[in-house]
Structure 1
Amino acid sequence: MKTVLSTKMLSLPQKELFLNSGLGLVEYDALKIELLDVEIPFDCQNYIFTSKNAVKAFLNQTKGLDYSKFNIFCVGGKTKALLEENGLKVVEIAENASELAENIIKRHQNETFVFLCGNKRRGELPDILTKNNVQYKELEVYHTNLNPKAFKRDFDGILFFSPSGIRSFLLENTLGNCTLFCIGETTATEARKHSKNSIVANKPTVENVLVQAINHFKHL
Structure 2
Amino acid sequence: MKTALSTKILSPSQKELFLNSGLGLVEYNALKIEFLDTLIPLHYQNYIFTSKNAVKAFLNHSKKTDHSNCNAFCVGEKTKTILEENDIKIIKTTENASDLADFIVKNHKNDEFLFLCGNMRREELPEILSKNNIRYAEVEVYKTHLEIRKFNRSFDGILFFSPSGFKSYAQENSILKSMAFCIGSTTAAEAKKYTDQIIIANKPTVENVLVQAIKHFKKYD
Alignment TM-score > 0.5, same fold: yes
The separation in 2 between residues aligned to 1:170 and 1:214, in whole angstroms, is 23
The separation in 1 between residues aligned to 2:123 and 2:142, in whole angstroms, is 16
**How do 1:129-208 and structure 2 match up within 5 A?**
129-208=129-208
CA-based RMSD of the aligned residues comes to: 1.0
The equivalent of 1:63 in structure 2 is 63
The separation in 2 between residues aligned to 1:198 and 1:81, in whole angstroms, is 28
Q: Deviations over 1:134-174 (max 9, x none)?
A: 10001111111110111222111000112221221122222
Q: Deviations over 1:174-200 (max 9, x none)?
A: 222111111111111211211221111
The separation in 2 between residues aligned to 1:133 and 1:193, in whole angstroms, is 33
The separation in 1 between residues aligned to 2:91 and 2:171, in whole angstroms, is 40
The equivalent of 1:84 in structure 2 is 84
The separation in 2 between residues aligned to 1:45 and 1:57, in whole angstroms, is 17
The equivalent of 1:218 in structure 2 is 218
The equivalent of 1:103 in structure 2 is 103
Q: Deviations over 1:106-142 (max 9, x none)?
A: 2211011000001111111111111111100011111
The equivalent of 2:52 in structure 1 is 52
Q: Deviations over 1:9-67 (max 9, x none)?
A: 11111111101111011111101111111100001111000000100110111112111
The aligned amino acid for 1:100 is L
The equivalent of 1:6 in structure 2 is 6
CA contact 2:77–2:204 (8 Å) conserved in 1: no
The separation in 1 between residues aligned to 2:50 and 2:164, in whole angstroms, is 16
Task: Give, in angstroms, the shift of residue 104 of structure 1.
Answer: 1.1
Where does the alignment leave 5 or more consecutive residues of structure 2 unmatched?
Answer: none
Size of the aligned set, in residue pairs, is 220
The aligned amino acid for 1:204 is P
Using the TM superposition, name which of 102-111 and 37-46 deviates more: 102-111
Partner of 1:34, secondary structure, is strand
The aligned amino acid for 1:192 is K
The aligned amino acid for 2:30 is A
Partner of 2:177, secondary structure, is coil
The separation in 2 between residues aligned to 1:98 and 1:137, in whole angstroms, is 17
The separation in 2 between residues aligned to 1:103 and 1:192, in whole angstroms, is 27
